[in-house]
Amino acid sequence: MADRTSRSYKDITLDFLPNPVTGDLSVIKNERAIIRSVRNLVQTKLKERFYNPDLGSDIYETLFGFCDVATGSVLARDIKSLLAMWEPRIDNIIVKADPRPDQNEFEVTISFEVVGQPQALSSFSFILEATR
């Protein structure tokens, strides 16, 4: 069971634009910061980050297979394992990858609880498609 102490999370935005008033880098907080981190983790390929080659997954390799329910369950399992290992700010992770065979893509829905935050389950969806 994860520590449920009340916490606030901040990440810098990836555009690296400074705040016009303070000159500091812009930040995103709590749920938005974690959603951004989760998407970045899912979209990172293994060995893509030279300073941490173990960070990432092989999900894009899976996308070149069949676009069916079995492949969707493999994707969901791999994404859940990835998040459990690399994103300690979330707990109770639920991942669904629904195939869209006509578009050769999967709609991925990730639900989770933010550790140390009182809100209920957070959820967001995005599309994973093979890029050639």
Q: Could you tell me the residue range of the domain that residue 70 belongs to?
A: 34-129
Q: Is residue 80 part of a domain?
A: yes
Tell me the per-residue pLDDT of 45-86, one tens digit each, with 9 for 90 and over: 888 888 888 888 888 887 777 888 989 999 999 999 999 999
The torsion angles phi and psi of 111, rounded to 5 degrees, stand at -120, 145
Q: Is residue 95 part of a domain?
A: yes
Domain count, the chain: 1
Q: Is residue 122 part of a domain?
A: yes
Mean pLDDT across the chain = 82
Is residue 61 within 8 Å of residue 91, measured between CB atoms? no
The torsion angles phi and psi of 50, rounded to 5 degrees, stand at -60, -30
CATH number assigned to the domain comprising residue 38: 3.10.450.40
Closest CA to 37 of 3, 78, 87: 87
Q: Is residue 20 part of a domain?
A: no
